[in-house]
């Protein structure tokens, strides 16, 4: 069976939780995918993100591997059945044509602009508005509309409050009390109790778990962080959580991207067919 998506190159901006879920989903259905990530990634759910490839050279999510490389090597990585990851905050210079860009950086800022010379642009969450900086928006706020494809208007505004999981919202997220670097005393999947030491900042400031649950997020210890940065996440649902698999939220958003991409491709192909002699 011929894969009709094999020649379509999709650029996913941001290798955090949502961007990784999008890249994984598109890769699995047959699209060629490239990822870009900043030099200092701030992802915390690193068991399900490709961002660690920035430091480690490669990173796996659900058995799919992303490899850090230069823009000139992307074709080689794709030929190996892997996802190339380029460290840059700008559009990569490639020999191949980029057919669509998915902005998954979750900057949540209305000043985000659409890259030039790319036919299709999909924006995730707050800061994106159809017709202003993208062709289509995917809703990322938890609730009935999570993953919904928006062909007009904009995503729900950023509430600034973490989504509720297991009946707990703000309390499950840990923020850095001081700037510096952290040494973790726990790992992904560890069960912790309220008040347990998760790690130590600057060899002196202990970071404790605000609730009991399973460790789901830990920022990379290689990152020098500012004060009040999200550094950890404890899920109150405990053992039932598959911490090393894409979350239900990320899956819904990724499937929304796939739906939007297929519709955009169909629309462009139909337009081109009408214009052809």
Q: Provide the residue ranges of all domains of the chain, joining segments of one domain with +.
A: 9-158+247-275, 170-236
Name the DSSP letter for residue 134: B
Can you say whether the dihedral through the CA atoms of 249, 255, 257, 263 is positive or negative?
Answer: negative
What share of residues in the chain are helix, strand, coil (percent, to 5)?
Answer: 25, 25, 50
Specify the pLDDT at position 272: 67
Residue 124 contacts residue 72 (beta carbons within 8 Å)? no
Closest CA to 93 of 22, 34, 161: 34
Number of residues in the chain:
277
pLDDT < 50 regions, the chain: 1-2
Strand order through the sheet with 32-37: 58-61, 64-68, 83-87, 32-37, 9-13, 100-103, 120-124, 136-138, 149-150
Name the DSSP letter for residue 117: T
Question: Is-same-fold flag (9-158+247-275; 170-236)?
Answer: no
In sequence order, which residues have a C-beta less than 8 Å from that of residue 40 and are 6 or more positions away? 223, 224
- pLDDT (tens digit per residue) in 80-133: 999 999 999 998 888 889 999 999 999 888 778 888 788 899 999 999 999 999
Closest CA to 177 of 234, 229, 235, 233: 229
CATH code: domain 170-236 is 2.40.50.100
pTM equals 0.93
Specify the pLDDT at position 1: 39
Name the percent of the chain lying above pLDDT 90. Answer: 78
Q: What architecture does CATH give domain 9-158+247-275?
A: 3-Layer(aba) Sandwich (3.40)
């Amino acid at each position: 069976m011929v894969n009709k998506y094999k020649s379509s190159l999709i650029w996913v901006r941001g290798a955090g939780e949502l961007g990784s879920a999008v890249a994984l989903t598109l890769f699995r259905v047959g699209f060629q995918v490239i990822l870009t990530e900043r030099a200092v990634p701030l992802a915390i759910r690193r068991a399900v993100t490709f961002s660690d490839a920035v430091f480690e050279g490669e990173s796996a999510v659900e058995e799919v591997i992303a490899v850090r490389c230069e823009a000139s090597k992307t074709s080689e990585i794709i030929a190996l059945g892997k996802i190339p990851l380029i460290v840059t905050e700008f559009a990569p210079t490639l020999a191949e044509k980029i057919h669509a860009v998915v902005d998954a950086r979750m900057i949540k800022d209305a000043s985000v602009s659409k890259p030039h010379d790319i036919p299709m642009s999909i924006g995730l969450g707050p800061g994106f508005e159809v017709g202003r900086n993208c062709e289509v928006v995917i809703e990322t706020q938890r609730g009935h509309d999570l993953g919904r494809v928006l062909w007009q208007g904009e995503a729900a505004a950023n509430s600034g409050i973490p989504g509720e999981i297991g009946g707990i919202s703000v309390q499950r997220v840990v923020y850095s009390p001081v700037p510096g670097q952290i040494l973790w005393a726990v790992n992904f999947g560890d069960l912790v109790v309220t008040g347990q030491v998760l790690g130590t900042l600057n060899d002196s400031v202990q970071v404790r778990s605000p609730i009991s649950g399973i460790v789901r997020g830990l920022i990379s210890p290689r990152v020098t962080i500012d004060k009040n940065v999200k550094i950890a996440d404890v899920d109150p649902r405990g053992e039932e959580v598959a911490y090393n698999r894409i979350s239900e939220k990320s899956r819904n958003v990724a499937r929304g991207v796939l739906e939007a991409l297929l519709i955009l491709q169909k629309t462009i192909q139909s337009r081109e067919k009408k214009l052809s002699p």
